[in-house]
Amino acid sequence: MFLTALLICLFYCSEIEASRKDLAMFAVDNNLQKITSALSEIRLELKTLNHKPKSCEDIYTEDNLSPSGDYVIYPLQKAVRVYCSFEGDYGYTFISRKSSGVALNIAKLYSTNKFAKIRLLMSNGEQREVKVENLLAYRNQSTLSFQSNTHQFVPGPTTGTAQLHPFLFLGFLPKSLVQNRNIQGYRAAGKDFTFRNCDSNPNSYITFLDPKHGTFGNLGYTNAFMNGWISSSTVMDYPKYMDNSFYMDWEMHMGGCGGLMTSKVQSIKAALGLPFAIHNE
């Protein structure tokens, strides 16, 4: 009996000791992450003191070892908080809600408008991403439209939502291509999502906004077409997660019988990534 009790004690004692070691390693990893983050902030501040980059592209051009992360850029005169994601042949600029009211020349933040990247903040805290572009059928007829607090040549937000400044605008098809009762839609993760325009309504956009002084009027609804870019998104690795301040509410409007949906329908926020070419010399 005594021997059995001794063996049980030895077994559980070893398990407890192993658990203590695991907890200790977790604490070390957690502290290392905090130290790494703090060093990154210090590095950012030191660089900013001596240089005021105008874009994420400037940051990478000056130092191609710059890691993806939070930066401060000066596209005009005032500071804009951004997340620069440096990925292969292209990088992406995400603008923080904290800087959403700062005047900027958005054209300076991207080098192509053939595609964009959207990141998603799910209701459970998970972050995902998806590449979006125009339908293959329209690839040679139109590019995406990136605008800030305006939507020239492209139908814009519904009347109520348009009042919720500031906003970033992603337009898919211009009025000249969406006023016919034809097949329209968007492309996400290499797959076309389409609908037939039933009434010549020219809406074809997603607006990303920070509604500080108002609320949505019509919250909209979801369907397989409208939800395609969300369901096609992929989970990101945790080290690539952005701060929640980069994620905004949004309104998506398609058609003429495509649909109207806002971030409130599924409690999912999103961030628009503006693409720029990475030149590795």
DSSP 6-25: HHHHHHHHHHHHHHHHHHHH
- Note the helical H segments in the chain: 2-50, 56-62, 159-162, 175-178, 228-231
Query: According to the model, what pLDDT value does residue 7 have?
Result: 46
Q: What is the distance between the terminal CA atoms of the chain, rounded to a whole angstrom?
A: 74
- Report d(CA 122, CA 115) in Å as an integer: 22
Q: Is the dihedral of CA 99, 104, 108, 112 positive or negative?
A: positive
> Would you write out the chain's pLDDT as a tens digit for each of its 281 residues?
555 544 445 445 555 555 555 555 545 556 666 676 666 666 655 555 557 899 999 999 999 999 999 999 998 888 999 999 999 899 999 999 888 778 888 999 999 999 999 999 999 999 999 999 999 999 889 999 998 876 665 655 665 555 665 688 999 988 888 777 889 999 999 999 999 998 888 889 999 987 665 666 678 899 999 999 999 999 999 999 999 999 999 999 998 889 999 998 999 999 999 999 997 76
DSSP state of 165: -
Residue 180's H or E segment, with its range, is none
Query: According to the model, what pLDDT value does residue 193 have?
Result: 98
Query: According to the model, what pLDDT value does residue 10 have?
Result: 47
Query: According to the model, what pLDDT value does residue 54 have?
Result: 93
Query: According to the model, what pLDDT value does residue 203 have?
Result: 87
Structure tokens at 70: 């939070």
Phi, psi at 29, each rounded to 5° = -60, -40
DSSP state of 236: P
Query: According to the model, what pLDDT value does residue 103 have?
Result: 80
